[in-house]
Structure formats: C-alpha cells, structure tokens
Amino acid sequence: MWAIWVIAVFALTMGSVGEGRGEDVIGTRPLLTIARKDLHTILPPDCHILIDPHSIEQFLDALDGTPPDWGLVYGHGHHDPAHDERLFTLNRERDAKRAGNPALTQLITFVWFGELSRYDAEAGGFRVALGPMFTPTRWGVVRFKYEDLPGELVAKASAALRSELEQRFARGESVDVTVAMTGRLTPDESVVYDFSHDQEGLGLIMPVVKVERLDYLLTNK
C-alpha cells in the first residue's frame, strides 16, 4: 500500500503544471463530510457523475459506441510483432471517430482514493496523497487520468473536525478521503486504450480529464 502512495505522490509532483493562484484555488478545498452518493448535491446540475460501473459504461457507450475487440488487438501479447501497431491503430481510429461527439464536452466527475497526512500549519490544512481507482466494466478496467492538477493538494477542516482528525492521527489511525475530480475530456487524446500491467490481456481504458474542480470527501468518519 505504501508503495502505491509513494508512486502516486511522485506522479502528482511530476505532473504539476506550475504554481499559479488558480491552481491553489483548485487544490485547496474544504473537507466535506458527505457520502459519494450525495455528490450531486454539491456539483453543477449538468455534471455527469461517473463513479460506478453502470454510469461509466453509459458514458463510454455514448462516447465510443462499442468496446474494442480486446482479444484481436492483444493477439499473442507483447511478444506479437504487430501488437503495438494494432494498439496504436485502435487509439488513432477511436480518436478520429469521436471527433465532434457531444460527450467530449460534457462536464464529468470521477473519483480517486486519497489519504490525509497530519495537519500542516503552513498550508492551512491536511495534505492529500492520491491513489488511482480501477473500475471493472464490460468495456474493460477503467482508470481515469487527470491533467492540470496542482502539485499541492490541501484539505481544509473546521476547528472541530480538525481536532477530531488530529485525535485519530494520535491513535495511529489512517484517514481516508475520496477525491472527486470534475472537468472535461482533453480534446486531442481524450481516451487512451491500453492493456493492464497486472493481468495479461485485460483491456484498460483511460479517459483523460482536464480538471476544473476538486472536492474532498471524508470516507471513514
């Protein structure tokens, strides 16, 4: 588990895009005590919340029509000379086919795992480490990717909630959060098709989202 967090923090740092006031606003947000099922109460009404297999499948159906023939693309695996070429062709064909699709511009929300570190007085809140969420669907395993996420993520808490969380840290407990990311697909390479590194031949779908908003939800209060 710790290896996941180290990798995630490293990737987050490497993926940051400068230090601007706008990014600070995106990355520094209040810590909410609502459940994932209540996300719709705080998000814009036109936002498509993609946090379960059914909603993700519906979105991919609208975006790309049908799942790839993963068996055909995989062939004999990475040792197949044409494997990479078929995967490249799949991605380019799908990119071209979805051009102009209204689903490309829809506002969507997906979630990643998060974990709080101890209170940081300088940052004015609890720093947040990220870990990706993998969702099995009939399309394959879906792992959303983000773009334009600031390098520092900070969850601010009320005095009462801060005190409660600091007591939990003192008892040696971990504090998990759900990080909800809201934005739109990137226009040029909006979905990346690949294969899982953990299970041979398992299709991996990675929608790439330009993040416009973050929300932190306390998941084990």
Q: What does the pLDDT read at residue 19?
A: 40
Give residue 221's pLDDT band: very low, low, confident or very high (50, 70, 90).
Answer: low
What is the predicted pLDDT for the residue at 21? Answer: 42
pLDDT of residue 1: 45
Task: Specify the pLDDT at position 7.
Answer: 40
Q: What is the mean pLDDT of residues 64-88?
A: 90
Specify burial of residue 139 (Cβ count, 10 A radius: 0-12, 13-18, 19+): buried
Instruction: For residue 215, name the pLDDT band (cuts at 50, 70, 90).
Output: very high
| pLDDT for the residue 6 | 39
State the Cα angle at 126 between 121 and 131, rounded to 5°.
145
- Please give the model's pTM, rounded to 2 decimal places: 0.86
Q: What is the pLDDT of residue 184?
A: 97
Provide the pLDDT for residue 76.
80
* Span 113-170, pLDDT tens digits: 999 999 999 999 999 999 999 999 999 999 999 998 888 899 999 999 999 999 999 9
In the chain, % of residues over pLDDT 90: 76
- Per the model's pLDDT, the better-predicted residue between 4 and 174 turns out to be 174
89-129: per-residue pLDDT in tens? 999 999 999 999 999 999 999 999 999 999 999 999 999 99
β pairing state of 108-120 and 48-49: parallel
Tokens (6 digits) for 136: 């099995």
As beta bridge partners, residue 204 has 141, 194
Q: How many CB atoms lie within 10 A of CB 184?
A: 16
Q: What is the pLDDT of residues 34-66, one digit of tens each?
A: 999 999 999 999 999 999 999 999 999 999 999
Distance CA(33)–CA(35), nearest Å, equals 7
Give tens-digit pLDDT for 192-206.
999 998 898 999 999
